[in-house]
């Protein structure tokens, strides 16, 4: 099988694993017909031992497929820690629960920063679906934290019981959830699925819309855009509502802090964005073909933060802040906490890290931060410079 778009060729072992997953998907399609894209995305990302997040291949950093803010610099985690400190102080204690802790670097940076100001949580809980990432996290955190801090970390196998207090943290979690893909024309709409061509290759397939929720979303989309003969593709995440419901079920008081790339609905679904926002990441190459090397590449889509706000409200949360990553980091002291009298090489390095986190053409504008609060009324420090809730 040849790769397209000049992507690097996987190792022989990776090719074997990808082909094994491909065969499973092909068999399912032969037996049941085309599958919705959300099901395909679920399979290629999360099938045990074969899916992207269920395998042991590097995901983050130079050897992986993409870079996240915690991989760039500890400054990101230190700013998050200041927001967490404010929330935990208002609650007179509580826990942190991080969904999808990646390499563990964000956990490390937050705990070290909170320890410096004597504002540690009772427990730092991690909910991680990837057994391989969990092992990596444990190794890094045990090696890089004092024993007393490491002992506060707890990897969960199920969500906490009701009555929980604290702050939920989800950095680049929403974009990793499987999405439905819709295709609209001036007079019709389809649910995009995955089928097979005459050579057994994966192809896009048009499926009828029979789901009431999807039909409602299509009706709302038509209020924002008027598809032309070129058609219009859009991704929607139906997992946000049940996920926030599950958090609301166990959280008695606290805040959910969500950080991801995306837009408010009016900005996300624009007439010019007719091919949607589906993106694939493979060894730092970005493209839009989700059928290349199943299980070896990450697949994401931009977040509709209006949908997140609506789902949060329905789940019993209040939207207590929404802003860009740049404004959030500036509000939580990104520049004020820089060490003084650093060598010029370290100053230049820090300067470049700050630019990557905050410049509009880097992470500063495309990444957003949303806070959902429950039974707590607190003007959150991260949204003091610019609160963009009016754009939702």
Q: Are 391 and 279 in contact (CB under 8 A)?
A: no
Distance from C-alpha of 37 to C-alpha of 171, rounded to nearest angstrom: 24
Longest dimension (CA), the chain: 67
In the chain the domains, ranked by start, together with CATH numbers, are 69-175+239-269+301-391 (3.40.50.12710)
Q: How would you classify residue 18: left for phi > 0, otherwise alpha for psi between -120 and 50, otherwise beta? A: alpha
pTM of the model: 0.94
The Cα 142–Cα 216 span in angstroms is 48
> What distance in Å separates the CA atoms of residue 169 and residue 72, rounded to the nearest whole number?
18
In terms of Cα–Cα distance, which of 276, 307, 306, 282 is closest to 294?
A: 282
Q: What's the pLDDT tens digit per position in 255-307?
A: 999 999 999 999 999 999 999 999 999 887 899 999 999 999 999 999 999 99
Here the tokens at position 110 are 């937050």
Look at residue 59 in the predicted model and tell me its pLDDT.
53
- What does the pLDDT read at residue 60? 55
Tokens of 152: 């506060």
CA dihedral 66, 70, 76, 81 (to 10 degrees): 140
Which stretches in the chain have pLDDT values below 70? 1-5, 56-66, 337
Cβ contact 299:288 at 8 Å: no
Q: What's residue 130's pLDDT?
A: 86
Token pair 């970390």 in the structure block, residue? 153
Write down the pLDDT at residue 362: 78
Residue with tokens 């065969």: 23
Task: For residue 31, give both structure tokens.
Answer: 């037996």
Q: What is the pLDDT of residue 213?
A: 92
Tokens at residue 382, please? 């991260």
In tens, the pLDDT along 129-153 reads 888 889 999 999 999 999 999 999 9
């Amino acid at each position: 099988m040849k790769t397209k778009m000049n992507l690097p060729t996987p190792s022989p072992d990776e090719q074997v694993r990808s082909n094994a997953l491909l065969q499973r998907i092909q068999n399912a399609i032969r037996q049941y017909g085309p599958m919705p894209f959300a099901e395909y995305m679920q399979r290629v990302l999360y099938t045990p031992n074969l899916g992207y997040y269920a395998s042991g291949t590097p995901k983050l950093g130079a050897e992986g497929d993409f870079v996240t803010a915690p991989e760039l610099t500890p400054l990101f985690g230190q700013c998050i820690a200041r927001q967490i400190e404010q929330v935990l102080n208002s609650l007179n204690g509580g826990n942190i629960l991080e969904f999808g802790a990646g390499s563990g670097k964000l956990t490390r940076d937050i705990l070290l920063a909170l320890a410096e100001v004597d504002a540690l949580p009772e427990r730092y809980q991690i909910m991680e679906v990837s057994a391989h990432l969990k092992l990596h996290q444990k190794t890094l955190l045990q090696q890089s934290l004092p024993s007393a801090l490491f002992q506060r970390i707890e990897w969960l196998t199920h969500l906490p019981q009701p009555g929980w207090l604290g702050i939920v943290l989800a950095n680049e979690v929403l974009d990793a959830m499987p999405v439905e893909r819709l295709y609209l024309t001036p007079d019709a709409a389809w649910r995009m699925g995955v089928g097979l061509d005459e050579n057994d290759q994966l192809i896009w397939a048009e499926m009828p819309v029979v789901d009431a929720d999807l039909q409602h979303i299509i009706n709302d989309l038509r209020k924002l855009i008027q598809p032309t003969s070129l058609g219009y593709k859009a991704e929607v995440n139906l997992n946000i509502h049940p996920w926030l419901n599950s958090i609301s079920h166990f959280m008695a008081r606290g805040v959910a802090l969500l950080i991801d790339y995306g837009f408010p609905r009016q900005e996300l679904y624009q007439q010019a964005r007719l091919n949607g926002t589906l993106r694939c990441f493979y060894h730092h190459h970005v493209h839009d073909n989700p059928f290349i090397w199943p299980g070896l590449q990450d697949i994401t889509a931009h977040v509709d933060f209006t949908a997140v706000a609506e789902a949060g409200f329905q789940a019993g949360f209040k939207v207590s802040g929404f802003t860009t990553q740049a404004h959030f980091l500036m509000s939580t002291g990104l520049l004020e906490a820089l060490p003084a009298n650093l060598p010029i090489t370290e100053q230049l390095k820090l300067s470049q890290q700050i630019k990557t986190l905050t410049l509009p053409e880097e992470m500063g504008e495309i990444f957003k931060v949303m806070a959902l609060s429950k039974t707590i009324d607190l003007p959150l420090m991260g949204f003091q410079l610019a609160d963009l809730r009016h754009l939702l």
